[in-house]
Amino acid sequence: MTVTLRPGAMALSDWRSIYSGEAIVLDRGCKGDIERGAEAVQALLASGRAVYGVNTGFGKLAQTRIADDDLAELQKRLVLSHAAGIGPPMPTKIVRLMMALKMSSLGRGCSGVRLDVVERLETMLAKGLTPLIPCQGSVGASGDLAPLSQLAAALIGVGDVRIDGETLSAADGLAKIGLTPLELGPKEGLALLNGTQFSTAYALAGLFEAEKAFKSALVTGAMSVEAAMGSTAPFDARIHDCRGHQGQIDAAAAYRDLLLDSNINASHQNCEKVQDPYCLRCQPQVMGAALNVLRQAAATLETEANAVTDNPLIFPDGPDAISGGNFHAEPVAFAADMIAMAVAEIGSMSERRQAMLVDPNLSGLPAFLSPAPGLNSGFMIPQVTAAALVSENKQRAAPCSVDSIPTSANQEDHVSMAAHGARRLMDMNANLDAIIALEWLTAAQGMDFHVELTSSPKLESAKQRLRAEIPRLGDDRFFAPDIARATEMVGQGVLVDISDLPGVV
């Protein structure tokens, strides 16, 4: 599969495909816009006007005029001075996504770069050459300067790159795929390093991982209903139609579908229990609210992914170069905070179901789901692990967007903190995958106690996918490898095709 990159017109599903590793080819329909933008920069220079970042210094130094003979050197020094990030390298799949986002932004023709710049990014992606980019150092305005500078540095042959699992110098990597270091033209360094593509790439990755975890948690949550012999009445469509939230309506429909034709449920239709705990009964309300929040974040990020976010912007019709603030990543910061809250709550609800299942007073099942509790501890400590991960995620879910710190001698006096707000989502989602895996193991163990009854066809399939790799827990055994394998399976999306589950689009 190949994704055609159409600057300004990409769907969320296109970005998901790129994140998943699909090849990318630039839609050549943008060629005219790119060339007109580059010509406008040359016309502005010829007019003798002072244009920020083209023939002036940067930030607090914007009043310093740069001589025509130094314009190329200005862009090179800008890239070198701003490549000041630290920390572990970005994951390659997020670097690819960031590069594609930068291609889309430049391809709109409002950044003033030559077509050659965009095509070099396309070639690097096609050949599997990605810059080695430290993941820390951006405050989310004026753009993601440090990480994007590392991307720009690779284009001019500075820094390190990865290709075929090998780390090379950027110059050697470019040579390996038939490219020479780029000689930056006016504004091109600034256009490459200014923008929100680092934050947006991480936020999109966090969104896609959260969506997968959300769908998986619908399945494991329904399995917990079966393990506890919970009621399906709280999923009745009439309840949710009365409230009207679409996410809640969609989540309730998913639970009805997952639990359809369950013999376990049919076996206790006339039981004396009046109401289940909230962790079972309120799943549509909590998961539906999380889905609504993820959908709102998705809408914001889809718009941002198609945006032009460097500065100044070039408008060929004037020609004009207008300084603004599209580099300020506040929309991304808000979206990342929303995703973080949803991730935290999905995990919190899952852990409460696990705690309920291991408690015989609440679940009616053997203590800690062991066939012989006492000699065996069963699922006692897996629930503790889930609790630890949930609390870790709750602490990480504190909003980043409300923080700011002045930079660049107070020229950039309010920043978004979108970069680390989005970056934390990967670790939070990894925790969530483990929490959901622990519920999968716990709920399957609980269902196994209903030996003469079967669940719905879809939930039996979910249980059998687990049992194909991880047997039921009898006597205590070394359980860490089983938890690790179940977590890996959740991360691989093993549960998301159990049913037609609602997502962010």
Residues identified as active-site: 52
What are φ and ψ of residue 299, in 5° steps? -65, -45
Candidates 240, 245, 268, 242; CA nearest to 256 is 240
- Between CA 99 and CA 237 the distance in angstroms is 44
The set of residues, in sequence order, having a beta carbon less than 8 Å from that of 359 and lying 6+ positions away, is 367
8 A C-beta contact, residue 118 and residue 192: no
8 A C-beta contact, residue 248 and residue 284: yes
Candidates 389, 209, 204, 164; CA nearest to 303 is 204
The set of residues, in sequence order, having a beta carbon less than 8 Å from that of 482 and lying 6+ positions away, is 441, 470
Torsion of CA 435, 438, 440, 446, to 10 degrees: -130
SS3 content of the chain, % helix, strand, coil (to 5): 60, 5, 35
What are the distances in angstroms from CA 161 to CA 18, 36, 96, 174? 19, 31, 12, 9
8 A C-beta contact, residue 200 and residue 332: yes
Candidates 45, 50, 57; CA nearest to 81 is 57
Candidates 195, 207, 212; CA nearest to 98 is 195
